Chains A and B, each alone.
Chain A
Amino acid sequence: MSVTVVKHVLSIALLAGGVGVVLVCCIGIVVANDTFDRLHFITPASTIGIGFISLAIILSKPLGSTTLKIALLFVITVVTSPILSHATARAARIRRFAEWRIYPEELADDDQRERRTGRDEEARRIRELQASLAAEDVSPTLARDGGRGAGAEGGRQEPTRRSSRPPDKEAVVWRILAHMPGLRRPPGDPAGHVRGGDEVREVRDRRVSGAPTDASAEETRGEEGP
């Protein structure tokens, strides 16, 4: 068999395979009714389908500008199709749940669920702190010196309204970060960020002193058996 015949047979096989994949995807999109189920049928058509068909054309045509254009078309489709699928899935999820976030009960793994719960808890605490800072509305100077004015020697002074000076953003940020328990997480404690600051310090002190922590005590109990 000559090379031409092999190329011809190969291009026919690739064309048949590509068209078959696309047809299967077209049938699958009718069978599936949910948005996210249907999204799965776009990926084979936009990768395998167009890849096989492009390869079939490239094999049957002489190398030139046509080949380059077909390769460019393949690259464009392969790059843009996942973007479009992601945007569609995002829009569908926002339509269904009104926001773009994962709920803890959607996670199958307990560890993932614990991490997600911790992140949500941290975000909630930061939001509350930001709200309390906005409600206080104290000037940055008063926030730094603890509410004592320059003229009042240790006496309590009512916080003044925010001046025209721009706020000291660094002080505000550090004040927010000081309430994040994750910053005080000891190394090697994956669940430390979901605990409060006192509990984290307690776990750290136990580790330094060599006393068993809750996790290690549970492991020990598990090894001992019933």
Chain B
Amino acid sequence: MNMWQVGTAALLVGLVPCGIACLRGSLGARLVALELAGLVAVLVALLISADSSVSSVLDITLLLAFVAFVGGLVFTRFLGRWL
């Protein structure tokens, strides 16, 4: 295992607390945990792209970062208005 794979494994372990936090607390607190999970997922994708020799994997990471932001905003809007 090289260092990128070790980092990826460590960050994947970090997704577990985020998942636990998504199941506890108020709706807003769960949303925050979901946002952090999205950020961790972006970092995991970044480390996978660093390990990979295919440069287009990084495009997926960029797209994931953008989608995580838009999805978080949509959830926030929904939370503030309808829930």
Contact = CB atoms under 8 A, between A and B. Distances in A.
A38 B55 CA distance: 35
A23 B12 CA distance: 10
A23 B10 contact: yes
A77 B76 CA distance: 17
A53 to B, nearest CB: 6
A73 B31 CA distance: 22
Interface string B15-49: 11110110011111101110110011011001100
B1 interface: no
Contacts of A42: 32, 35-36, 39
B10 A92 contact: no
Contacts of B16: 26
A91 B79 contact: yes
B72 A84 contact: yes
Contact of A95 (B39, B43, B80): B80
A27 B46 contact: no
A45 B26 CA distance: 22
Contacts of B43: 18, 22, 45, 49-50, 53
Given A26-B14, A61-B50, A88-B28, A73 B20 contact: no
A168 to B, nearest CB: 37
A48 to B, nearest CB: 12
Nearest to A90: B80
Contacts of B10: 19, 23
A53 B10 CA distance: 13
A141 to B, nearest CB: 43
A34 interface: yes
Given A22-B11, A41-B36, A53-B43, A87 B17 contact: no
Give the interface size class of chain A: 35 or more
B14 A22 contact: yes
Given A19-B10, A30-B21, A84-B73, A35 B28 contact: yes
Interface stretch (A64-72, A121-129, A213-221): A64-72
A61 B50 CA distance: 8
16 contacts: A15-B3, A18-B7, A29-B36, A30-B17, A35-B32, A72-B62, A76-B62, A81-B69, A84-B69, A84-B73, A85-B35, A87-B77, A88-B79, A91-B28, A91-B76, A95-B79
Interface of B: 3-4, 7, 10-11, 13-18, 20-21, 24-29, 31-33, 35-36, 39-40, 42-43, 46-47, 50, 55, 58-59, 61-62, 65-66, 69, 72-73, 76-77, 79-80, 83
Given A33-B29, A45-B40, A61-B50, 12 more contacts: A22-B14, A29-B17, A34-B25, A35-B29, A38-B29, A38-B33, A66-B55, A72-B62, A81-B69, A83-B73, A88-B32, A95-B79
